Amino acid sequence: MLQLDGVSKNFGGLPALQSVTFGVPKGRLTALIGPNGAGKSTLINCVTGLLPPTSGSVHFESVDISGLPAHRIAHLGITRTFQNLRLFPRLSVLDNVLTGLTCEGGTSMCMAMLRLPVLRHRERQLRLRALEAMDRFGLSDKAGWPAAVLAYGDKKRVELARATVGNPRLLLLDEPVAGLNAEETASVGEQLRTLRRAGQTILLIEHDMDLVMNIADHVVVLDSGQCIATGTPDEVRRNPLVLEAYLGRMEATA
């Protein structure tokens, strides 16, 4: 579904990504792993339009999206979560999740100001959908709270709800379990598994190897801006390049 070809990104002469090429198959969960500083977040930013790649191309369902601005990419059905959480702290939880439906909320200021019946009905439908998404992530009782007061785990869930409420074609998750305890991690893992079963295409950036090995269908390994391996979790786990780069000189555990 998503195909990266030779994507490179330089920050003023410093290569952050070097000719990265891999594909994300439809309906599968692909994990992007690599040591800190390998360029994973830069890669996601290039895919979602926050950073233009220096060279190479990104194709989404055969359409070239390299260099498109972030909002156009969102309208194509690609959503993401952020490693360091980018919620809107002053907005309520419900409003935060509703922002996930921006693409369907209309852009006409006149229509909005006049609040025509069409708009009212649409608002109501969006509200119900947002509430349903919040149900899925266990946030319904916190609907009216300002997002700033939530616990860290709940905030992560709000980001997830916001990213999934619009039924995106491709979901990009940037370290969704960073900073969560074991129980919360397991719960997020279960959510991801449910999404995966429903046929959602997911690209997951993670450090937590247990999570990755358990739920990923396909793994891509990045090191120092280069793609050093791709394959199934088992294949990658035994790949000596990966072991050396990511796990150090360790025996491969069976």
| 201, two tokens | 């295409």
Q: Which is nearer to other proteins, 55 or 232 (CB)?
A: 232
Question: Binding other proteins by CB under 8 A: which of 3, 83, 99, 187?
Answer: 99
Question: Binding other proteins by CB under 8 A: which of 129, 155, 156, 157?
Answer: 129
Minimum CB separation from other proteins for residue 37, in Å?
21
Is residue 81 within 8 Å of 163, Cβ to Cβ? yes
Phi/psi of residue 20, nearest 5 degrees: -80, 130
Report strand pairing: 170-174 vs 78-80: parallel
Question: Binding other proteins by CB under 8 A: which of 89, 181, 210, 241?
Answer: 89
| 7, two tokens | 């994507």
Site for other proteins in 7-66 (CB under 8 A): 48-50
Minimum CB separation from other proteins for residue 97, in Å?
10
Q: Is 234 in the site for other proteins (CB under 8 A)?
A: yes
Strand order in the sheet with 63-64: 14-24, 2-11, 55-60, 63-64
Q: Is 250 in the site for other proteins (CB under 8 A)?
A: no
From CA 170, how far away is CA 11, in angstroms rounded?
Answer: 27
Minimum CB separation from other proteins for residue 6, in Å?
24
Q: Is 145 in the site for other proteins (CB under 8 A)?
A: yes
Minimum CB separation from other proteins for residue 19, in Å?
25
By C-alpha distance, which of 49, 60, 73, 54 is closest to 26? Answer: 60
Site for other proteins in 174-233 (CB under 8 A): 197-198, 232
Minimum CB separation from other proteins for residue 8, in Å?
22
Bridge partners of residue 187, in order along the sequence: none
Minimum CB separation from other proteins for residue 66, in Å?
16
Q: Is 148 in the site for other proteins (CB under 8 A)?
A: yes
Is residue 186 within 8 Å of 128, Cβ to Cβ? no
| 112, two tokens | 């909005």
Number of residues that bind other proteins (CB under 8 A): 64
From CA 203, how far away is CA 160, in angstroms rounded?
Answer: 13
Q: Is 82 in the site for other proteins (CB under 8 A)?
A: yes
Minimum CB separation from other proteins for residue 229, in Å?
15
Q: Is 241 in the site for other proteins (CB under 8 A)?
A: no
**Contact residues: other proteins, CB under 8 A:** 48-50, 69-71, 74-75, 79-80, 82, 86-91, 95, 98-109, 111-115, 119, 121-129, 131-132, 135, 140-141, 145-146, 148-149, 151, 162, 197-198, 232, 234-235, 238, 252, 254
